[in-house]
């Protein structure tokens, strides 16, 4: 049970720098998709790097901060709640414009467009895999679709899930 300051400290100093839970491994389909890719991207967060290493063992990775998860600054409201509850409060208030000096939704959306541009450019050379984060992946979706890509496999939003896109033209 945390107050908003405790949640912010947990986000910055526990969750964001966290590694994967020991024993987690990429599914065979994700490994196959990464093996077929000419480039494998990961955000700069440790869990994304470890995900990419698990999906593409032994491969050289392109570590890029453009793929880092969107911020979750908690609203400064009274009370003590579980981190999961604070996550809902934080995402909702952030979505409606409260960023408390951190990356705003508008800025994150611009970064999502930049990330998609990076992926589309890389896809000119062949298949691409990106290991990033749930909310930011959601933020990239509309820009991927606008660029003419269609989701051909939607694995959902759980850990180790993935989506595959194919270019279908604008």
pLDDT reported for residue 144: 95
Domain boundaries, the chain: 4-167
pLDDT at 123 over 80: yes
Model pTM?
0.90
Task: Read off the pLDDT of residues 131-151 as tens digits, 9 standing for 90 and up.
Answer: 999 899 999 999 999 999 999
User: Cα(130)–Cα(143) distance, rounded to whole angstroms?
Assistant: 15
Strand order in the sheet with 39-42: 62-63, 39-42, 128-131
Q: Are 1 and 83 in contact (CB under 8 A)?
A: no
pLDDT tens-digit map of 55-106: 999 999 999 999 999 999 999 999 999 999 999 999 999 999 999 999 999 9
Percent of the chain scoring above 70 in pLDDT: 99
Fold of 4-167: Rossmann fold (3.40.50)
The half-sphere exposure of 40 on its side-chain side, counting CA atoms within 13 A, is 23
pLDDT at 161: 82
Taking 3-state DSSP, the helix, strand and coil percentages for the chain, each rounded to the nearest 5, stand at 45, 15, 40
């Amino acid at each position: 049970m945390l107050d908003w300051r405790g949640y912010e400290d947990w986000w910055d100093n526990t969750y964001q720098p966290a590694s994967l839970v020991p024993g987690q491994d990429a599914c065979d389909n994700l490994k196959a998709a990464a093996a077929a890719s000419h480039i494998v991207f990961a955000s700069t967060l440790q869990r994304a790097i470890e995900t990419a290493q698990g999906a593409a063992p032994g491969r050289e990775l392109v570590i890029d901060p453009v793929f880092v998860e969107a911020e979750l600054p908690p609203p400064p409201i009274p009370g003590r709640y579980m981190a999961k509850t604070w996550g809902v409060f934080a995402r909702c208030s952030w979505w409606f414009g409260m960023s408390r000096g951190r990356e705003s939704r508008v800025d994150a959306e611009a970064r999502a467009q930049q990330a998609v541009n990076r992926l589309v450019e890389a896809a000119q050379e062949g298949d691409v895999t990106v290991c990033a984060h749930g909310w930011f992946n959601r933020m990239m979706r509309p820009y991927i679709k606008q660029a003419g890509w269609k989701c051909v496999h939607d694995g959902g939003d759980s850990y180790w899930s993935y989506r595959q896109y194919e270019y279908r033209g604008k």
